[in-house]
Each structure stands twice: as C-alpha cells, then as structure tokens.
Structure 1
C-alpha cells in the first residue's frame, strides 16, 4: 500500500470504542491522516485493520502531557475530542491546551436519546439521596469509577442495591469500595457473540430489579437500558450528561460532524 500524500489534512482523534472506529473510517474515506489516542490496549483492538497513521495507547498525563503531545505532532487540521460524555477532565484539559496553542478543536457529541415515560433525570449522583427509594431494588449501571459514590447516595435513600462489575482491576476495586453484598454483585463480562443486552436482561430478572440508574451518555448503552426498562416496566434514573467545555466548537451526531469536517 502506498503512503498517503503528505498534504492530506492530519487529524488527532481521541476516542473510545463506541464512536471512534466509525469516525475514523469516515475520516479515512475523506483522505485524512488520522492519529488515534485510546486509553487501553483493549480499546485499540477496535481499530484493527484501519489504516491510521499512528495509534497511541494510555493516559495522556493531563494538561502537560497533552501540550507535549501537541508539540510533537506536525501541523494538525483538527484535534477531535470524541471521548466519553462523562470523561469531563480530558475534555477540559484538551480545551485548555488547544485554546492556548490556537489549535482547532472539535468536540463530537452523541445524539440525545428519547423515550420511556418512567424516566427521571438527575443532575448528579447525590440527587439519589433525596429520593424515596425504600423498597426499590436498584441496579447501578454507572461504570466502575463512580460506583461507590453513587451507591452511598442511593443507600442513604433506602434503596436495595445491585451492580454488575467488569472482571478488571478497576472493576473489582470499585465493586468492593461500593460495599455491596456478594450476592448483589455480578462480576462478569458479556459472552462474545451474545445478543446485546442478554446479560443485563437476565440480571434484572434474577434480582427482581425495579429501577436502573445509568448515565445519559447516549449511544448503544443508554439505548439498551431504555429498551430494557420499557420491556420490564422499570423506572429509569438517568444521570444528566455534563455540558461540553465552554467555547468549544461542538457538533452533535455523525452527520453534523462530517459536515463540519468537509466544510471547516
């Protein structure tokens, strides 16, 4: 395969596995040279077979690390922030560095999801402590990083708590910190090839779940929980998506993103 012409626009894409591979394919189809940054080796596997210019794996090291990385790179047309909607620190760090360097930064946001009448939008996890949750069997589907704090808030409101944790060091550490009884915790990864949502539906039935706490993150995960809540008549408690950093050029959805890339 021939190397791409050096005058092709260069893009540094920071993303995960949800949107990143799809956006990378679209950028490559537009003859961009794409450098991808992900956090883990497992996330990098989602980009296998894509002709990216380079792949960086691991934490960037805050503002200082991002600034050093930006200096090492040749002229970039765009830095694209397609990180998780709740990964607020990396988004704010990127904004600070790019503004200071006068580097064009584009924030990709997932479209907003709708549906399911029994949905309550919470400003943050602490709001759970003010709710009447006595007698409710809550599945905390919030990821490992914030599990313990959200469990504390829901416990104050009298909820009976359950959670699924990934069999990773962070997942196990977070599950233990949340203080859940062993029979209220499933440490399991979905089987490869399983129908999306199969494990989650089974856990809800097994534990007699009445309400699910998840994040308004958009994408497949939020859609899945909306669907399960509808099917099993569960209350859905959504943690509100944080706003993008002030002043950042933000687009919502792939169509708007590609239009901005094409005409920006």
Structure 2
C-alpha cells in the first residue's frame, strides 16, 4: 500500500514517522508555502496537484491506497480538493484534526468568523496588536492606520501590510516565558490568532491570560466531508485497518 499524508503540521510529521517505522510506504505532500519546511520521514513531494481533478488523477497514477489529510485547520482549499478526489477515485480519506483551543478561567477571548471581522474588532480592544494569524491574511488589516502591529510569521510577508507594523520572523514552539517577555517588551494590548489548536503555539494564550490581554480568536472553517480523528494514534489504527 501507499499512504499519502497531506500537510506540514507536527501531527503530519509524527504520523509519517510512525508509519515509516512500521514499514508502511508513506509519501508526505507539502504545500511549499514555507521556504525551509521541516521535512518528515519517508518520501516527500512539494507543491499543489492542480485542483481536485488533478489530485484525483495523481492518486490513480501513483496507486495511492489511502489519504490522511493532516493539514493546518485553516487549509481549506487542499482539504476540499482531497474530499472531491476521494469521491472521484474511491480512495479512502481520513481527516486528522487536532482539537481546537478551549477558553478557560481568566481568558478574555473574542471569537470572530474570519480575519475581516477580526480587523473590525481589534481597534475597539486596543492599539498595540500582536498578529499571529499567518502572513497570508495580513491584507485584512492593511487599511487600519491607527493601531500599531507586531506581526510574527515564519517567512517574510508580502504587501499589503498595516502602515504601522514591525515584523518578527520566528518558528515555534514557544514558551510562556518568552511570550510574556515579547508581550511586555512591545506593550501589546491585543492578540489576534486563529484557532489552530495544539501545544505548539499555545504559550501566547497563557501569557495573555497572565497579563489580562484580550485575545481575538478566528473560528475554524467547516471541514466536513471526511471521517475525522483527533490523534495520530487513531490515524495509525485507521491506516493499519485498511491494510
């Protein structure tokens, strides 16, 4: 069998490593949006498939037995293509989706539907904004001339950016101590993030809780259309069941 794992997430790498160690032929597909991605074990391909039809043709050509979509919770396009390609080819598809973050005591969270709504909300909460929502969505904030933004991303972002912005390039995981230091150093009074889930980047939420900083959280998009599990172990069991 050949298993295709979609995504450059920590869960995707863990799944590929587990399957590779078991002798299961696995190929990981990365979008190629990060200049120096952390490569998983096993075979790796980088780039798109040319839409759902191209994806379906590729699955048939490569004789893929099963697909595990372990992409980022906000990678809507590739997940939709995977659902369509699975239906067209009959190749089984599983979604590996880590649980979202849960608001706890002391958290001041403001849930929004998308980055456009986040841009409307943040000026009502503060004027020194920490943007951790990814470089591809920065255009949603480019029209805000009043607030100052600290923008954190892995690779340098492309315009448009907010006129008052400082960019810091960094890759997680982060610690609560380092996040506290960053928030205090820059006088941050609002955080903007997507509900990515997982412990890899959750330290900023704990830091905001400690400092009483409000957090604007973008809800996850609907990712229905495929069976879903929340853990790598469950995904491994699903794959081995197909064998």
TM-score bracket, normalised by the shorter chain, equals 0.7 to 0.9
CA distance in 2, matches of 1:24, 1:167: 23
Match of 1:141 in 2: 132
Is residue 157 of structure 2 the alignment partner of residue 172 of structure 1?
Answer: yes
Structure 1 unmatched ranges of 5 or more = 1-8
Which string of whole-angstrom CA distances, capped at 9 and with x for unpartnered residues, describes residues 70-117 of structure 1? Answer: 12212x331111111111001001111111111111111012222442
Change beyond 3 A, Cα 1:223–1:187:
closer
| Residue of structure 1 equivalent to 2:36 | 42
Residue in 1 that maps onto 2:75: 87
Ranges of 4+ aligned residues in structure 1 off by more than 3 Å: 165-168, 194-203
Greater fraction helix: 1
In structure 2, runs of 5+ residues without a counterpart are none
Instruction: Give the alignment's Cα RMSD to 1 decimal.
Output: 2.7
Shift of 1:195: 5.9
Q: TM-score, normalised by structure 2?
A: 0.84
> Which of 200, 205, 212 is equivalent to 2:191?
212
Residue pair 1:18, 1:219 contacting (<8 A) in 2 also: no
What is the TM-score normalised by the length of structure 1? Answer: 0.78
How many Å separate the matches in 1 of 2:122 and 2:115? 11
1:162 pairs with 2:141: no
Q: Per-residue deviation at 1:241?
A: 1.0
Q: How far apart are the structure 2 equivalents of 1:195 and 1:127? A: 27
Query: Counterparts of 1:145 and 1:195 in 2: how far apart (Å)?
Result: 21
162, 171, 188: which one aligns with 2:169: 188
**1:37–1:228 distance in 2 versus 1, CA, 3 Å:** same
Note if contact 1:14-1:83 (Cα within 8 Å) is conserved in structure 2. Answer: yes
Structure with larger Rg:
1
Distance across 2 between alignment mates of 1:197 and 1:11: 36
